[in-house]
Amino acid sequence: MKIKKRFTLYNIIMLMTPIILIGVVSVGFLLIFIMKYPVEELLVKRTALINPRIFAEAVGLFFQNNPGAIRIVFIWFAISAGILIFSTTIITMIMSRSIKKPIDNLHRAAEYIRRGNLDFEVLGSDYDEINALCSEFDNMRRDLKYARQLEHSLKSERSMLLANLSHDLKTPITSIKGYIEGIRDGVADSPEKVSRYLDVIYQKADTIENMVNNLSSYSRLELNREEFKFQTGELGKFLLAFCKKLETEFIDKDINLEYEFKDNEIPVRIDIDKMSRVFSNLVDNAVKYKKEGCLKLIIRTYPADGGVYAEVSDNGIGISPDEISKVFNSFYRIDESRSIKGSGLGLGIVKQIIEKHGGKIWLQSDGKKSGTTAVIFLPAAY
Query: Mind listing the pLDDT tens digit for each residue in 131-142?
Result: 888 888 888 888
Say how many C-beta atoms besides its own lie within 10 A of residue 150's C-beta.
Answer: 10
In the 8-state DSSP scheme, what is residue 42?
A: G
pLDDT at 310 over 90: yes
How many residues belong to the chain?
A: 382
Residue predicted with more confidence, 150 or 343: 150
What letters, b where the CB count within 10 A reaches 16 and e where it falls short, cover 284-311? ebbebbbeeeebbbbbbbebeeebbbbb
CA 293 from chain center: how many Å?
45
Query: Mind listing the pLDDT tens digit for each residue in 96-121?
Result: 887 888 888 888 888 888 888 888 88
> What is the structure's pLDDT at 3?
72
φ/ψ region of 192 (left if φ > 0, alpha if ψ in -120 to 50, else beta) reads alpha
pLDDT at 308 over 90: yes
Give me the architecture of the 154-222 domain, per CATH.
Orthogonal Bundle (1.10)
Comparing 163-177, 239-253, 329-343, the range with the smallest average pLDDT is: 329-343
> What is the structure's pLDDT at 342?
47
pLDDT at 356 over 80: yes
Average pLDDT over residues 267-295: 88
Count CA atoms closer than 13 A to 302's CA, side-chain side: 8
Give me the architecture of the 231-379 domain, per CATH.
2-Layer Sandwich (3.30)
> What is the structure's pLDDT at 330?
54
- pLDDT band at 263; cut points 50, 70, 90: confident
Sign of the dihedral through C-alpha 141, 142, 147, 152: positive
pLDDT at 146 over 90: no
Query: Mind listing the pLDDT tens digit for each residue in 3-34?
Result: 777 778 888 888 898 899 989 988 888 887 77
Query: Mind listing the pLDDT tens digit for each residue in 42-79?
Result: 555 555 555 677 667 767 777 777 777 788 889 889 99
**How do strand 255-261 and strand 295-304 relate by DSSP bridges?**
parallel
Residue predicted with more confidence, 65 or 270: 270
Spatial CA neighbour of 37 closest among 63, 18, 17, 13: 63
| Burial of 57 (C-beta count, 10 Å sphere; 0-12/13-18/19+) | middle
